[in-house]
Chain A
Amino acid sequence: MRDATPTRIVGTPALRKEGFGKVTGGARYIDDIVLLGMWHGATVRSSIARGAIKDIRFGAGINWDEFVIVTAKDIPGANCIPLIVDNDQPVLADARVNHPEEPVVLLAHPDKARLHEAVEAVEIDYDPLPAVFTIEESERQQTIVWGEDNVIKRFLVEKGDVDSAWQHAAHIVSGEYRTGAQEQLYIENNGVIAEWSDADGLIIRGSMQCPYYVHKALLRVFDLPAEKVRVIQAETGGAFGGKEDYPSLIAAHAGLLALKAGRPVKIIYDREEDLAATTKRHPSRTRYRTAVDKDGHLLAMDIQVDLDGGAYATVSPTVLSRATIHSAGPYLCENIRVRSHAWATNVPPHGAFRGFGSPQTIFGIERHMDQIAKAVGISPEEVRRRNFLAQGNATATGQLIRDPIDLRGMMDRALKVSDYHAKRARFARENATSSAIKHGMGIASFMHGAGFTGSGERYLNSLVGLEADASGHLTVLVSSTEFGQGTNTMLSQVVAEALGLSCEDVSIAQPDTNRVPNSGPTVASRTTMIVGRLVHDAALALAGILREKNLLSEEFSADEFRAACAAYTAQFGALRSEARYQPPKDIFWDDAKYQGDAYPAFAWAVYVAEVAVDTRTYAAEVVNFYTVQEVGRVMNPVLAAGQIEGGVAQGVGYALYEKVVWKDGRMSNNQMTNYIIPTAADVPNIEVYFEEMPCEHGPYGAKGLGELPHDGPAPAILNAIQDAAGISFTSIPLLPEDIFLRMAEAPEPECLEIVGSAKGPQ
């Protein structure tokens, strides 16, 4: 379906479907919803990182008869939220706790104001056990906190013969890179309302990305048949991955309280609880050992990827998978080995966050490419140019790049729009002679795979539906959710385009598992490419149904379509079409060997950061940020540019501001006043440029783009800081205090080993 034909609606800045409600205050988020007789729930959490629960006592001064109290004993089904690994994270800690802030006891009361005091009055006695808090402590394997070896998941990817390549190297360059945890910081905290009735079972309303994940989890926790659990997404104020798996846990909690209380129960986290207890981006350590020839061509890459998974597996196996596959960057290398591990630690489980493992390893490879350039004595742009993947090349997993790509052209454009060469020359001159402020330019080139990794989309087997009423108004039935990224608008554009209508003729049904089919989770930059395509197929199928009854000709106007809908519904009743995911025939993936087509398509990008480093305050500020990306067809230029700008802003935070301060496995700066995200005054001028190469897998040639912009900013910014200050920083977040340590005090040796002669891998 490679399609570059002119379109009426796709490619135009159609207005957000839900925008009016959000701007005027009409949108109803979960905390705006009040049900008759509703109580409020709260969570008593573990205060230690690891230990056996000896006793739970309900302290004096509280009339406990007024409260509904739930512990693990009240769970009717399995005490587990199964997502990828079975017997994973418990709903409530029973005999033992494995991280701070782990839920142990639930309380409900009609007066929300009474809950805080009651939570404080529950005393839990523990026999503490030794705990591990870092990748290093976990991989030492002296204290085993998960399975037999603390390894939640491991992968090995091998291409060519890495071990024989070192002897041919002109340079061997090694480096270690680290990234920290990062909070998603959606504006709306997590929250749900649960209702229970014996007749209908459990009804959950909440702020979430994936209604069917919640549905699946609750069936096991409550031991109910599918029709007795109903999950409805309320308007959701941001998610960024942070509402992929955690809402299943809160929904289970509210459900248990509602079941025992016999009335609706609402649980809304405040910011302190949300920050301390819910998921963050996985901290990482990546190690690169690369062999290059005298011209800077990559001969071999030996890569180690290590993630801190936290206390339970949750989504860590798939985050590690994406981290692993993206770790070699957009470069051609015949000999690659990636060994990766997700390590268990006694911190709250790390989870999904925009990019899902790839920002971590792209930080590593893109910092490392600058070190290779330095070792070889060529420019950062040239070392990338010489190694870029091209059509017909194979990636680390042996995936043949079939679609046309033009990374060199994108590099040219990025250098041009950023005025890279002129600025770099000027900065080099000015930095040498003057001024307290040093300027620099840095590049990152990268890709992001759209859709689930490997055979994921086959397992998801997504289904979408489309309904038309007698007036010809259409309703899209998907479980794909809107949480600010533009899902509803984009899907409306697809349907309107396909059927010759306008966006106003299309509505999106509220995601409700009683009404919409399972179109898969809203994650992995998959909604536009995968679900958008299915919705397009469903639109064509709906026109096909009308044609079968001779109500519509091959070409039709909007009025003819409406008339056909009216005639159909009058004669045959409900008009509805469906489309189910069909795996592309030429895509193969071997899960055992981790070889093959990892993603149906990649988005590609070259980003350039311009920074200013103040030698008086040691603060690095991003002044300008230039983005060039190829995302297939751009469905909506305003929403697409907004995604890029937002992703860059989050990437600036990831690089320079956002630091989770850990104390014995607990986030100690769990307030927005101390967990610092960039404000509008800290975000640079961001320029967004799209290249459009229509892709055959998505609707009208679209690919995925939501996660891409979070991948590139951090390495581009640190590369620019190296250009400005002459110091190679290898760890983020990079705060002024860190720059100070290297700039003002005795310079430490750079974390870089350059060897001229042959040397075997370690």
Chain B
Amino acid sequence: MRSNVSEYEFIAPGSLDAVLALLSAEPGAWTPMAGGTELMVALGAGRLEQRKLVSLWGIGELRGITASADWLTIGAGATYTDIRENAAIAKEFPLLARSASWTGAIANQNRGTLGGNIVNASPAADSPPVLLVYEAEIELVSAQGARRMNYSEFHLGYKRTVLRPQELVMAVHLPRGHRLPVEYLRKVGTRNAMAISKVALAGVGAMQSGKVQTVRIAAASLRETPARLSMTEAVLVGHALTSDRIQAARKALLQEVKPIDDVRSTAKYRAHVAANLLEEFLNQMAASES
């Protein structure tokens, strides 16, 4: 432990209203903490700059997973374990259950939350690519009210989001009844478990009469934020998946990603492997109609 915990303040008001009131009263002073799987690591390493922490753990309004006719709503406080064990997610949004199973260890999955994964805004996070291809919406809440937007508009830049200091992520909404026949998700980490992704690619799509009718592709660790690869999608929609078309898609991907060299991998490797994963996904697409 490289921090002196006596220098930190940690409170647990216990209800959503009380937390939101606190955030509004002193905007920016308090950092919300749900499972703590990110912040506690920073605390242990002596690099947690935020000294005032407010707990979201145990606030029931944030944690439920509920279904309406059109939406499956996952509370921001739902843990990876909650997501892995939910029958509706397993049936209708299986990529999300899979990505949740890849995050950390069982202990991390019991504490870590979907909202935390999103707000932490790591470009390498496991959940966001899946939320992007499922066209999720995100609901933000403050004492002043709520707002809802496409999740694709949430991330602004490296570790920057639209979230205001007095706001919390309330829930993620997934549109029901639009499941596409081909779903793809692959994470390339530094090892098979307990790993941060070097590159990850999620894809969903449908073919019609030998051509790409719909396709959505998103990636982790390829840009400064989790990212939809819309240029690549545009190259594909309406076209047959010939080898030339697949090569064109690879090129488009390489143009729109901006990977970096870091302690886990190299930019070249990330870009090349992402293109390989794209090709693997497109081969699945091509085979889906036969």
Q: Which residue of A lies closest to B4 (CB)?
A: A113
Which one, A513-521, A533-541, A576-584, A671-679, is touching chain B?
Answer: A671-679
Number of A-B contacts (CB under 8 A): 68
User: Which of B192, B263, B277 interacts with A682 by CB under 8 Å?
Assistant: B192
User: Which of A270, A272, A657 interacts with B191 by CB under 8 Å?
Assistant: A657
| A617 close to B (CB within 8 Å) | yes
Contact A114 B4 (CB under 8 A): yes
Contact A661 B194 (CB under 8 A): no
Interface centre among B3, B45, B273 (most CB of A within 10 A): B273
Contact A678 B1 (CB under 8 A): no
CA distance in complex: A254, B195 (Å)? 36
Contact B191 A681 (CB under 8 A): yes
**B-facing mask of A114-132, CB < 8 A → 1, else 0?**
1011000000000000000
Residues of B within 8 A of A618 (CB): 269, 273
CA distance in complex: A617, B191 (Å)? 12
| B6 close to A (CB within 8 Å) | yes
Interface residue tally for chain A (C-beta within 8 Å): 31
Q: Which residue of B lies closest to A120 (CB)?
A: B46
| A20 close to B (CB within 8 Å) | no
**A-facing mask of B1-30, CB < 8 A → 1, else 0?**
111111000000000000000000000000
| A619 close to B (CB within 8 Å) | yes
Q: Smallest Cβ distance from A67 to chain B, in angstroms? A: 14
| B193 close to A (CB within 8 Å) | yes
CA distance in complex: A673, B45 (Å)? 12
| B280 close to A (CB within 8 Å) | yes
| B39 close to A (CB within 8 Å) | no
Contact B269 A116 (CB under 8 A): no
User: Which of B45, B192, B194, B266 interacts with A737 by CB under 8 Å?
Assistant: B266
Q: Smallest Cβ distance from A180 to chain B, in angstroms? A: 15
Residues of B within 8 A of A657 (CB): 190-191
| A744 close to B (CB within 8 Å) | yes
Q: Which residue of A lies closest to B44 (CB)?
A: A270
Contact B6 A113 (CB under 8 A): yes
**Would you call the interface of chain A mostly helix, strand, loop, or mixed?**
loop
B:242-274 near A, CB below 8 Å: 263-266, 268-269, 272-273
Residues of B within 8 A of A270 (CB): 1-2, 44
User: Which of B46, B188, B277 interacts with A619 by CB under 8 Å?
Assistant: B188
B:162-182 near A, CB below 8 Å: none
Q: Smallest Cβ distance from A748 to chain B, in angstroms? A: 15
Q: Which residue of A lies closest to B6 (CB)?
A: A113
User: Which of A661, A679, A736 interacts with B263 by CB under 8 Å?
Assistant: A661
Residues of A within 8 A of B273 (CB): 616-618, 736, 740
CA distance in complex: A114, B192 (Å)? 39
Contact A679 B192 (CB under 8 A): yes
| B196 close to A (CB within 8 Å) | yes
CA distance in complex: A344, B266 (Å)? 30
Q: Smallest Cβ distance from B247 to chain A, in angstroms? A: 15
Residues of A within 8 A of B264 (CB): 674
Given contacts A617-B273, A669-B263, contact A679 B190 (CB under 8 A): no
Closest 3 CB pairs of A and B: A681-B192, A681-B193, A113-B4
Q: List 10 A-B contacts (CB under 8 A).
A: A112-B1, A116-B4, A117-B4, A616-B277, A619-B188, A661-B263, A676-B191, A682-B192, A736-B269, A740-B273
Q: A113-B3, A616-B277, A736-B188 are in contact. List 14 more A-B contacts (CB 8 A).
A: A113-B5, A114-B4, A116-B3, A270-B2, A617-B188, A617-B277, A618-B273, A673-B196, A679-B193, A680-B193, A681-B191, A682-B191, A740-B273, A744-B272
Interface residues of B (CB under 8 A from A): 1-6, 44-46, 188, 190-196, 263-266, 268-269, 272-273, 276-277, 279-280
